[in-house]
Amino acid sequence: MKNSIYFLCLIFVFFVGGCATTDEGPLRGDALFTNADQLVSKLQKGGYVIYFRHAMTDWEQRDSDRNNLENCKTQRKLSQRGRAQAKSIGEAFKALNIPIAVVYSSPYCRCIDTAKLAFDDVSVTFDLKGLAETGRQESERRVNVLKNMLATTPPAGRNTILISHADNILKAADFSVNEGDAVVFKPLETEGFKLLAYITSEQWMDMAQALNMR
């Protein structure tokens, strides 16, 4: 009975103006593990958009040239811990048998590296580029594109992965995400999207181990 109540909390959401929330926030922490089997089962069947903020970075570095993103030397890059974090996420996805249709990444090197380390293949799009030092019109355009991506149903039986930055998802879904963590959305097409779960980088592998699927 308790599991059923938690599960109902997972799928009951309140949608307003292109942003998605639940009455008590997304499934996370103890509630996440209580319902890990249901959540993983849903992801295995596909139909979700999973938004990752890039893995952990070295904050002693700074982005000094946001116009030439092909030069990784001028950007804040993944730390050694962040690289290990990304690899662990990828291993967990394989252990959990979560199917992926496509991985879209911001053009920043820290996002592309996260994608490659975790999922191998990546499609880079400037629509997911961070909003820092961006004019209002272009910033609003990217936010609207992200909202559309969160509302778009992936190909049957698969999930879409988005790897971007904190400010993008904060503007699009009014939700803060730490480095390496993810937010799971259920696309509703013309009605927007549902916010289902917040999953830390460590919890992916924790769920795999807890469900004996590693």
Alpha carbon distance 108, 121 (integer Å): 15
Tell me if 129 sits within 8 A of 107, measured CB to CB.
yes
Instruction: Please enumerate in sequence order all residues whose Cβ is within 8 A of that of 19, keeping only pairs 6 or more positions apart, or say none.
Output: 172, 173, 174, 192
What per-residue confidence (pLDDT) applies to 133? 80
Structural domains in the chain plus CATH codes? 2-210 (3.40.50.1240)
Classify the C-alpha dihedral 84-90-94-98 as positive or negative.
positive
> Residue 8, CB half-sphere, CA atoms under 13 Å: how many?
4
Q: Which two tokens stand for residue 67?
A: 């116009």
Residue with tokens 């993008």: 168
Beta bridge partners, 124, equal 105
What per-residue confidence (pLDDT) applies to 24? 54
Alpha carbon distance 74, 62 (integer Å): 7
H or E element at residue 15? strand 13-16
Question: Which residues of the chain fall below pLDDT 70?
Answer: 1-25, 64, 212-214
What per-residue confidence (pLDDT) applies to 46? 97
What per-residue confidence (pLDDT) applies to 174? 93
Averaged pLDDT of the chain: 86
What per-residue confidence (pLDDT) applies to 25? 61
pTM of the predicted model as reported, rounded to 2 decimal places: 0.86
Q: Which ranges of 54-184 would DSSP assign to H, the alpha helix?
A: 80-95, 109-119, 136-151, 166-173
Backbone angles phi, psi at 99, to 5 degrees: -80, 140
What per-residue confidence (pLDDT) applies to 65? 73
Alpha carbon distance 32, 121 (integer Å): 28
